[in-house]
Amino acid sequence: MRSPSLQSLTQPKIDGSTSSETDSASAPFENASERIRLSAEQVRGSRIDHVLQTAGLVKSRGEGRRLVTSGGVYIATRAQGGEQIEFTAVSTPESVVDEYLLDGKLLVLRLGKWKIKVIELTYR
């Protein structure tokens, strides 16, 4: 699977093309992300299962724990030396999300194979 860039996940397309006009290699990342805004207080210092529930990606923290334990949650980190990101499987539901924030305000999660969600932190 090709690694997306952070920009491709966080900015809307401006050229007006549709996903059918793009090449098949980039198709999984076209319009695949949805931006969710949460306050920084809801995310900083929180466990990944709590963030999944707060963002509405799972119905309960128990469901979030099961999803993480089964290997279905991935979190984006910057690839070595660039704008590209790579997804790493979250190994434990007790993982604190602070270390995975990109630019101090974005958390990019992948659930399963294609469902990508961008969580943007808002500060008061």
The answer to the question of residue 1 being in a domain is no
Give the pLDDT confidence score for residue 74 in this predicted structure: 95
Is 34 within a domain? yes
Distance CA 124, CA 122 (A): 7
Give the pTM: 0.73
Residue 99, pLDDT score: 86
CATH number for the domain that contains residue 94: 3.10.290.10
In a domain, 90, yes or no: yes
Asked if residue 35 belongs to a domain, the reply is: yes
User: Is residue 66 a part of any domain in this protein?
Assistant: yes
pLDDT of 33 reads 57
Q: For the chain, 124 residues long, give each residue's pLDDT as a single digit of tens.
A: 556 666 656 555 444 443 333 343 444 444 445 789 999 998 999 999 999 999 999 999 999 999 999 999 999 988 777 778 899 999 898 888 888 898 888 999 999 988 889 999 998 8
Q: How many domains would you assign to the chain?
A: 1
Structural domain span for residue 30: 6-12+19-122
CA distance 46 to 80: 26
Please enumerate in sequence order all residues whose Cβ is within 8 A of that of 56, keeping only pairs 6 or more positions apart, or say none: 36
Q: What is the pLDDT of residue 3?
A: 60
